Amino acid sequence: MSVAWHRTEPREVRPFFETAKAENALDDSGICLFAKGDTSRDTSFDLDEIDFQKLEPIIHAVLVDPTQWMPEGLTARDLELVLIAKNSFLKRSEIVARSILAEPIPTYFPIGSELLAKLGGGRNVQFTLALCLATDRPPTPGSPFVPGHWLARKTFLLRSRTLPALFDLQTRTDEAWKAAGYPEKTFFAVDYAGGIAGEMDDGSSVATVYIHIDAHNGMVNSPIGAPLQPILASEIILSIVTASKSEWKDLDEFVPSSPLETLSRQLGDAEPLTLDTLKKLANDPSRLRAVLQDRLSVVRGIK
Amino acid sequence: MPYPILSKAEARSYLVVEEGADKPPVPIARLADGGPDLDWTSIAEGIAAALLALADKHMTDKGKVDGSDFEAAASEEIHERMPSHPALADPEFWIWLAVTHCEEIVDRRYAGSQNAKNFGIGGAGENLLYRLWLRAEIAYDASAKDRYALSRFGDIDFWRSHIFRQGYADARGFARALLEFQFPAQAQRKPKLKILEIRALAKHLKRARSNLMFEVMSEARAVEFIESEWGRLALTSG
């Protein structure tokens, strides 16, 4: 008799089974993104351009009492708490702070504007708080032995809120709007090109969104941009979904890696939106608008 | 303050033209906001002039283009001329630079095998100008007599496969340690490991990265680590 093995779920297994109790020691750590903002324990943040311009991150390190997790054979003198900031596109990472656990450790780690600038202004930056071995140790099965072997860590990722596979943004002057057959002071228009439900070529997008250059610059340079950007994004995506629905209303499932599937993941909450849910929403623009406003945090921008 | 950008779609509509159709005009840059105000046109023109001079020296029209010598020299030139600025973290800035000022350079570098992806319209990391800059940026050692020494070693495949595409190279000290290991000064910078060997080592280091914060290692400690890992790998592979 043969047994067929099926993978049910992937799970990361770390080699340091002697220090397993320490793995959650930093789970309650958080990040505050803006001055006078709240600290969040979330690990991933999608931010608009407006947000990056007022970014003043502070990492709040919360470490469970070491007596509850300190592995046998290790002491506070052997471990250090390290905060690393990284931008993978620039291939640049910086140690923001490091403290041996046996010494007093700061609770709050502000990230200065100079460091943020070195890391591209905060776009697509990761901040990793890690409890690491500080010194070399003789190799022992199940225990860390090289400086930098981590026992616990938590990473906060700041991403630009763009949907590169969905639309491309271009600005238009008064004259350009007129030449395109629109009133001079049109705020924005969506030109859906097709292909949302299928595979995309690298570098293409399914729509071009034209926005008045004065409005674009106003949104970037003034406080009105904060509430307006997510509202605009909601309206743009609504236009694309409703303009495209004839292409996907009869599909049984998403084409893998299609822009439509990507959109369903980005608009989902704990789970991606199903195709059936998207079909229902496409037929109910008011409810679709509500879902978009919720997912894109419109109300937070207005508050 | 603004810096120029071009999107992938804008670049693509210019670069990818149907056979027989007229080439459209060079797209007009849009502006993104961030960092100090700089004369990007002058900076780009300076970079283009320097790289064209190197292209004339290293890439003639005859025979197969060998980009290795060109890229080794060009990386230092572009790095010296490029200011430190948040624009460098924006893939659309690099697309603007490649398309509006360095199109001839990219075309000559890939003569006979041209592909729009070298302008960054596919994966952002494939943009030639970005890769040239990044090579020097990673190798740069401000405290060394020859600050760009490490950028001159290694062929294109080495840099692409074992540095640019690897997460462990986000820790620059570790990336430099790997360069020092593979091109040791005491061996006149000749490659230490053969192609299959360095591939195996890179795979091993990639796995080690999942449990090790390479950033906390000094460069000297990183060299020791790489040497010991190679020692273990060489033993087990017989």
Residue A202, pLDDT > 70, answer no
Among chain A residues, the shortest Cα distance to B216 is held by: A148
Helix-helix angle B40-58:B91-100, to 10 degrees: 60
Q: pTM of the full predicted structure?
A: 0.74
Report the C-alpha gap between A67 and B82 in whole angstroms.
51
Contact B140, B148 (CB under 8 A): yes
A96: phi then psi, degrees, rounded to nearest 5: -80, -40
Q: What is residue B29's predicted lDDT score, i.e. its pLDDT?
A: 85
Tokens 């997008």 correspond to: A205
Buried b (16+ CB within 10 A) or exposed e, A155-175: ebbbebbebbbbbbbbbbeee
Where does residue A104 rank: exposed (0-12), middle (13-18), buried (19+ CB within 10 A)? exposed
> Is B216 at the interface with chain A, CB within 8 A?
yes
Q: What is residue A3's predicted lDDT score, i.e. its pLDDT?
A: 61
Six token digits for residue B139: 């190798």
Report the C-alpha gap between B220 and B226 in whole angstroms.
10
> Is B217 at the interface with chain A, CB within 8 A?
yes
A293: phi then psi, degrees, rounded to nearest 5: -60, -35
Residue A213, pLDDT > 90, answer no
Report the C-alpha gap between A226 and A53 in whole angstroms.
10
Among chain B residues, the shortest Cα distance to A50 is held by: B33
Residues of chain A with C-beta less than 8 angstroms from the C-beta of B122:
202-203
- Do B86 and A117 lie within an 8 Å CB cutoff? yes
Q: What is residue A201's predicted lDDT score, i.e. its pLDDT?
A: 55
Size of interface A-B (CB pairs under 8 A): 115
| DSSP one-letter code for A118 | H
Picking from B182, B178, B183, the residue whose alpha carbon sits closest to that of residue B208 is B178
The 3-class SS string of A14-80 reads CCCHHHHHHCCCCCCCEEECCCCCCEECCCEEEECHHHHHCCCCEEECCCCCHHHCCCCCCCHHHEE
Top-confidence residue, A99 or B123: A99
Look up residue A226 and give its amino acid: A
Name residue B32's beta-bridge partners. Answer: B3
Of A132, A148, A168, the CB nearest to B7: A168
Q: Which range, of A35-49, A106-120, A260-274, B78-92, averages the lowest pLDDT?
A: A260-274
Q: What is residue B227's predicted lDDT score, i.e. its pLDDT?
A: 95
Among chain A residues, the shortest Cα distance to B33 is held by: A220
- pLDDT tens by residue, B44-56: 999 999 999 999 9
Six token digits for residue A121: 């202004």
- pLDDT tens by residue, A243-289: 999 888 888 888 876 888 888 877 776 667 889 999 999 999 999 99
Total length of chain B: 238
Stated as kind and residue range, the H or E segment containing A83 is strand A79-87
Helix, coil or strand: residue A116: helix
Q: Which range, of A160-169, A194-203, B136-145, B157-166, averages the lowest pLDDT?
A: A160-169
Q: What is residue A42's predicted lDDT score, i.e. its pLDDT?
A: 92
Q: What is residue A163's predicted lDDT score, i.e. its pLDDT?
A: 46
Report the C-alpha gap between A110 and A183 in whole angstroms.
47
Residue B62, pLDDT > 60, answer no
Among chain B residues, the shortest Cα distance to A151 is held by: B211
Top-confidence residue, A227 or A69: A69
- Do B211 and A123 lie within an 8 Å CB cutoff? no
Top-confidence residue, B78 or B15: B78
- Do A220 and B8 lie within an 8 Å CB cutoff? no
Angle at B227 between CA A151 and CA B73, to 5 degrees: 110
Six token digits for residue B177: 């340690």
The C-alpha R_g of chain B, in whole angstroms, comes to 19
- Do A90 and B117 lie within an 8 Å CB cutoff? no
Contact A97, A109 (CB under 8 A): yes
Name residue B55's beta-bridge partners. Answer: none
Q: What is residue A216's predicted lDDT score, i.e. its pLDDT?
A: 83
Q: How confident is the model at residue A115 (pLDDT cuts 50, 70, 90)?
A: very high
- Do A91 and B12 lie within an 8 Å CB cutoff? no
Nearest C-alpha of chain A: how many angstroms from B63? 31
Q: How far is CA A28 from CA A31, A36, A140, A149, B191, in A?
A: 10, 20, 29, 21, 46
Q: What is residue B148's predicted lDDT score, i.e. its pLDDT?
A: 95
Q: How confident is the model at residue A142 (pLDDT cuts 50, 70, 90)?
A: confident
Q: What is residue A160's predicted lDDT score, i.e. its pLDDT?
A: 77
- Do A82 and B215 lie within an 8 Å CB cutoff? yes
Six token digits for residue A210: 């034209």
Residues of chain B with C-beta less than 8 angstroms from the C-beta of A16:
211
Where does residue A119 rank: exposed (0-12), middle (13-18), buried (19+ CB within 10 A)? buried
> Is B173 at the interface with chain A, CB within 8 A?
no
> Is B36 at the interface with chain A, CB within 8 A?
no
Among chain A residues, the shortest Cα distance to B11 is held by: A203
Q: How confident is the model at residue A28 (pLDDT cuts 50, 70, 90)?
A: very high
**Sheet strand arrangement including A188-192:** A167-172, A207-212, A188-192
Where does residue A176 rank: exposed (0-12), middle (13-18), buried (19+ CB within 10 A)? middle
Q: Which range, of A237-246, A276-285, A294-303, B191-200, averages the lowest pLDDT?
A: A294-303
Contact B51, B161 (CB under 8 A): no
> Is B137 at the interface with chain A, CB within 8 A?
yes
Q: What is the dihedral of CA B75, B77, B80, B82, to 10 degrees?
A: -80
* Alpha-helical regions (H) of chain B: 8-15, 40-58, 67-81, 91-100, 103-109, 128-139, 156-159, 172-182, 195-209, 219-236
Q: How far is CA A56 from the centre of its chain?
A: 17
ipTM for the assembly: 0.92
pLDDT (mean) for A154-168? 75
Contact B50, B78 (CB under 8 A): yes
